[in-house]
């Protein structure tokens, strides 16, 4: 869909260059999806919490993070309109299309306050149809309790597009890119181009010419070796100057994640 709206994005980009910021009315719904550009090949052993959400036919559509032996956290927009019985999760593989184990999903839900217009509270969880144990390539991630300070180094991983527009296929090998945390207030300030469309349930991450891209939605933004601080949510284009990747802020949404994980059967 992004390819067919190239002219629209060009217009948006030119307008934002003149205006300095991107307002909510200038954005298009197709822009509100997760966005890895400028990354490198990595292995699942380096990021064993990463999972791939797939259709019954094996197509990767979003990323996710394994919380415990039966719970995966992802973005709400990855789950809207989907039935649990038609979603599968591949764990423990560097390649999204083979290896590791493929497990069905028995139930799913997303934050009741999620807004597809503002992208606030973009978080959801899935319950696996069978429990999985930790191995060298499958590990549970920890939920951050506090948002890291602006400038903190983090890593985002996924199988999303490696560039914008001209990349027609997803990489089969897991990608990683290191970025710097930008707190939500700074992300919405004059230091960047988003303006007042960044909210408290969000956190940003930025590095010139590096970003998440289409297909990375729902995937992990991690600090240290195992602390989940963000969930790939949305952004304008990929790796664009002055436009950080926008993530759901895990500390802000932690209470919902913990409670929903307990309630969902």
| pLDDT score at 206 | 86
Q: What is the pTM for the complete model shown?
A: 0.85
Burial of residue 209 (number of CB atoms within 10 Å: 0-12, 13-18, 19+): exposed
- Of the listed ranges 19-33, 130-144, 197-211, 237-251, the least confidently predicted one is 19-33
> Domain coordinates of the chain in residue numbers?
40-263
What residues act catalytically? 77, 122, 217
86-145 confidence digits (pLDDT tens): 999 999 999 999 999 999 999 999 999 999 999 999 999 999 999 999 999 999 999 999
| pLDDT score at 113 | 98
Rounded Cα distance, 211 and 37, in Å: 5
Which pLDDT band holds residue 214 (cuts at 50, 70, 90)? very low
40-263 classified as CATH 2.40.10.10: yes
- Phi then psi for residue 243, to 5 deg, are -125, 90
176-198 confidence digits (pLDDT tens): 999 999 999 999 999 998 999 99
């Amino acid at each position: 869909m992004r390819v067919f709206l190239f002219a629209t994005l060009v217009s948006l980009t030119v307008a934002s260059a003149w205006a300095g910021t991107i307002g909510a009315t200038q954005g298009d719904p197709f822009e509100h999806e997760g966005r890895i550009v400028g990354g490198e090949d990595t292995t699942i052993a380096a990021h064993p919490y990463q999972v791939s959400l797939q259709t019954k036919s094996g197509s990767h559509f979003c990323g996710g993070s394994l919380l415990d032996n039966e719970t995966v956290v992802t973005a709400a927009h990855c789950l809207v309109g989907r039935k649990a019985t038609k979603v599968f999760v591949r764990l423990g593989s560097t390649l999204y299309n083979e290896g590791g184990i493929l497990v069905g999903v028995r139930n799913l839900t997303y934050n009741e306050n999620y807004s597809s217009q503002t992208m606030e509270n973009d978080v959801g969880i899935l319950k696996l149809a069978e429990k999985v144990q930790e191995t060298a390539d499958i590990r549970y991630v920890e939920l951050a309790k506090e948002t890291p300070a602006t400038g903190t180094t983090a890593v985002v991983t996924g199988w999303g597009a490696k560039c914008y527009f001209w990349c027609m296929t997803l990489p089969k090998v897991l990608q990683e890119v290191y970025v710097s945390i930008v707190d939500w207030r700074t992300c919405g300030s004059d230091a960047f181009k988003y303006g007042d469309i960044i909210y408290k349930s969000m956190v940003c991450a930025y590095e010139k010419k590096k970003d998440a891209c289409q297909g990375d939605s729902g995937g992990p933004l991690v600090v240290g070796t195992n602390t989940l601080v963000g969930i790939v949510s949305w952004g304008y284009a990929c790796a664009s100057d002055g436009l950080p990747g926008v993530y759901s802020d895990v500390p802000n949404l932690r209470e919902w994640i913990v409670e929903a994980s307990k309630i969902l059967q």
